[in-house]
Structure 1
Amino acid sequence: MSLIYSVGESSLTGPRPRNEDYVTAVTPAAPQLAIKGALMLVADGVSGGAGGAEAAEMTARTVSADYYATPDTWTIQHALDKVVQAANQWVLSHARKHSQMAGMATTLSMLVLRGQRYVLAHVGDTRIYRLREQCLEQLTTDHVWDRPDMRHVLKRAIGLDDQLTVDYAEGLLQPGDVYVIVSDGVWSALGNAEIHKALMLYRTPQMVAEHLTQLAIDKGSPDNASAVVVSIESIGQDHLTDMLADAHHLPLPAKLTVGSQIDGFTVTKIIHDSRVSILYQVKNTAGQLFVLKTLQPARADDTESCEALLNEEWLAKRVVSQCVPQILPLTREQRTYLYYVMTWHEGATLQQRLDAGHHFTMNGVANIGQDLLRGLSMLHRLNIVHRDIKPANIHLGSDNRLRILDLGVALNPTLPMPEQMENPGTPSFMSPELFDGKVADRQADIYAAGVTMYHLLTRKYPYGEVEPFQSPRFGEPIRPSRYRPEIPAWLENIILKAIAKKTADRFETAEEMLLALEHGELKSIAIPRTPLIARARLVKWQWLAVCSLLINLLLVYLLFIS
Structure 2
Amino acid sequence: MLSRYDHDLRVEIGFCTETGRRRDNQDYVAACSGPLGPGSLHGLVAAVADGVGGHKGGREAAETAVRGFIEAYFASPETIGVARAAARALESINGWIAAQARVDQKLAGMATTFSALIFSRRSAYLAHVGDSRAYRLRGEDFEQLTNDHVLGRGESAHALIRAVGFEDVLRVDHASHALCLHDRFLLCSDGVHAFLRREAIRKLLAERVSPQEAAERLVAAALAAGSDDNATALVADVVDLPPADQGALSQLAAGLRIGEPPAPGEVVDDYRLERIISQGRNSRLLLATDLRNGRPLVVKFPLARVADDASRRRAFVNEAWVAGRIRSPYVGEIVEPEEGRRTQLYSVMPFYEGETLEARLARAPKIELEEGLSIATRLARAVAAHRAGVVHRDIKADNVILLKDGSLRLVDLGVCRVPRLEDFCPEDIPGTPSYMAPELFLGASGDEASDLFALGVTLYRAFARDYPYGEIEPFSTPRFGRPRPLIVKRPDLPAWINAAILRAVAADPRDRFGDVVEFAFELENGALRNIAPPATKKPLYERNPLVFWKSLSLILAFLLFLALIPRAWR
After TM superposition, the score normalised by the length of structure 2 is 0.49
The higher-RCO structure (CA 8 Å, 6+ apart) is 1
